[in-house]
Structure 1
Amino acid sequence: MLKIRAEYYLSFIPPSKANRVKINSRAFTKSGKRYIVPKDVSIKINKAIWELQQQHKNEPVDIPVSVKILFILPDRRRRDLDNIMKTLGDCMVYAGILQDDNLIYRQILEKKVVRGEEGVIINITPFDDKEIDSKIIDKLKSYKEKINGI
């Protein structure tokens, strides 16, 4: 169970889920797709899981959480943080930090370029489940009615 907050570190940027190669063959997965993960990508994913396991010795978190992730990048090369986050969410589950990555109710992704430095700082806090303002729901309903009338 998550007490107040937890902080984890990775010494490198995990690979993006886009680094998987789709293969055409019959598969028995939910999505019906099979992927080959290149060996170097697989090694980096396993290293990320290992680093996270070394820092987490408690039971997996089983409540909704907010996750703030700071990516320290060594250069300005283009990186898709959404795809990296997909890999990172899976790594947190495999490392036993989260029971399931669908418990991430809010995520804040930020990147900073620090020449020659690389890594990830992950902050996890309980999700503050405030009621949504009814005015926002009314605006959404109004928009839907407007779109449906076109």
Structure 2
Amino acid sequence: MINLTLPYPPTVNHYWQSSVKRVTANKSRVVTRVSEKGKAFAENVFWLVREQKANKKLQGNLKIEVNIYVPDNRRRDIDNLCKSLFDALQKAGVYLDDTQIKDYRMIHCGVVKGGKVVLSIEEIEL
């Protein structure tokens, strides 16, 4: 089992950045990419995972429990945190691919200044 404490992740609304790219004089298309905030979060997670020796590259099916400590009392959809958190854990080498996640639980645990997530990851049999 892997236990990690990480900073509060950007929501999906702040993880993606869309812009319009001109293809020709009369045509344009929308380009979506990870925002600077999302990239900074992923890099921070990368170093924290290394520091906590959690870069295990787990290969089996996974169960993840995420205890969420929000930074303030605003209303939030906690499911909006999954994408940035799971992608960052993959990039940090905790597991090979976030498609391995077969069971996850997000628990709102109250307010902590700055916010954080405390999570446990374990391989499971299906």
Tell me the TM-score normalised to structure 2 length: 0.79
Rg larger in structure:
1
Q: How big is each residue's C-alpha offset from its partner over 1:87-122, in whole Å with a ceiling of 9 and x where there is no partner?
A: 111011110001000000000001111353621111
* Alignment gaps of 5+ in structure 1: 130-150
1:17 and 2:2 are equivalent in the alignment: no
* Number of residue equivalences: 120
* Matched residue SS, 1:14: coil
Give the conservation status (yes or no) of the 8 Å contact 2:55–2:95.
Answer: no
The structure whose RCO (Cα within 8 Å, separation 6+) is larger is 2
Pick the structure with more strand per residue. 2
Give the conservation status (yes or no) of the 8 Å contact 2:20–2:31.
Answer: yes
* Alignment gaps of 5+ in structure 2: 24-28
- CA positional deviation for 1:47: 1.2
* Matched residue SS, 1:21: strand
* Matched residue SS, 2:103: strand
Could you say what the CA RMSD is over the residues aligned between the two structures, in angstroms? 2.5
Structure 1 runs of 4+ with >4 Å offset: none
Tell me the TM-score normalised to structure 1 length: 0.68
> Structure 2 matches for 1:1-150, cutoff 5 A?
5-10=1-6, 12-19=7-14, 20-25=16-21, 34-56=31-53, 58-116=55-113, 118-129=115-126
User: Equivalent pairs: percent with the same residue?
Assistant: 22
- CA positional deviation for 1:72: 1.2
